[in-house]
Amino acid sequence: MLRIDATLRELLRLDQALCLHLNAGLRYFGVLRAFQALSWLGNGVFWYALMLSLLIVHRGGALQPVLHMIFVGAVCTATYRMLKRRTLRPRPYQAMSSIAVGAPALDKFSFPSGHTLHAVSFTLVACSHYPVLAALLVPFTLLTAASRVVLGLHYPSDVLAGAAIGALVAAASFGI
């Protein structure tokens, strides 16, 4: 049991150290504004615009992929809300005074990152239907995930958990 405790303490220390290191980028105005914009877009704006664009460009042919994305988004929202209510992990800026907050939090708790969860799930679903979108969606998803840590809203472990859950929800949706 002592070994597990020591390992968990070391993982928490690394999580906090990486969070502090990435959050230090906020002292540069351009970094702050860029990650604020990414976070805002990742809050749904980008994904809604993508779905609308697919419907405009591909018309009826995009209906099934867009409905697939909507379904996955609904499952992801229910999943992350349930997890946040049960884990109650404070956000980094709430737990560590040295973390600057770069954007308003959408809810009180940190675990998991809903932005990352949705970005990964939407990217996997959209790219399965339209592989050419990967060149746009994969970098956007990675930057959205990074924005959550840089802005002091999530720990790296929140983002990794969000990515894993989003990938699992997307993968499960293909089996339905």
Say if residues 150 and 41 touch (Cβ distance below 8 Å): no
Does this model's pTM top 0.75? My answer is yes
State the chain's maximal CA–CA distance in angstroms.
59
SS (H, E, C) the chain: CHHHHHHHHHHHHHHHHHHHHHHHHHHCHHHHHHHHHHHHHHHHHHHHHHHHHHHHHHHHHHHHHHHHHHHHHHHHHHHHHHHHHHHCCECHHHHCCCCCCCCCCCCCECCCCHHHHHHHHHHHHHHHHCHHHHHHHHHHHHHHHHHHHHCCCCCHHHHHHHHHHHHHHHHHHHCC
The answer to whether 120 and 166 have CB atoms below 8 angstroms apart is: yes
Residue 2 confidence class, pLDDT cut points 50, 70, 90? confident
What gap in Å lies between CA 80 and CA 86, rounded to an integer? 10
* Residue 1's pLDDT band (cuts 50, 70, 90): low
* Among candidate residues 91, 97, 85, 102, the one with its CA nearest the CA of residue 39: 102
pLDDT at 106: 86
Cα-Cα-Cα-Cα torsion 25, 18, 135, 27, nearest 10 degrees, comes to -10
Percentage of the chain exceeding pLDDT 70: 99
| Cα gap 25→96, rounded to integer Å | 16
Of 31, 42, 23, nearest in space to 106 by CA: 42
Q: What is the pLDDT of residue 145?
A: 97
Name the residue range of residue 163's domain.
2-174
CB within 8 Å of 117: residues ≥ 6 apart? 76, 79, 80, 162, 163, 165, 166, 169
Q: What does the pLDDT look like over 24-68, one tens digit per residue? A: 988 989 999 999 999 999 999 999 999 999 999 999 999 999 999
Is 80 exceeded by the pLDDT of residue 176? no
CATH code of residue 61: 1.10.606.20
Stretch 122-131: mean pLDDT, rounded?
Answer: 97
Count how many domains the chain has: 1
Nearest to 106 by CA among 40, 15, 45: 40
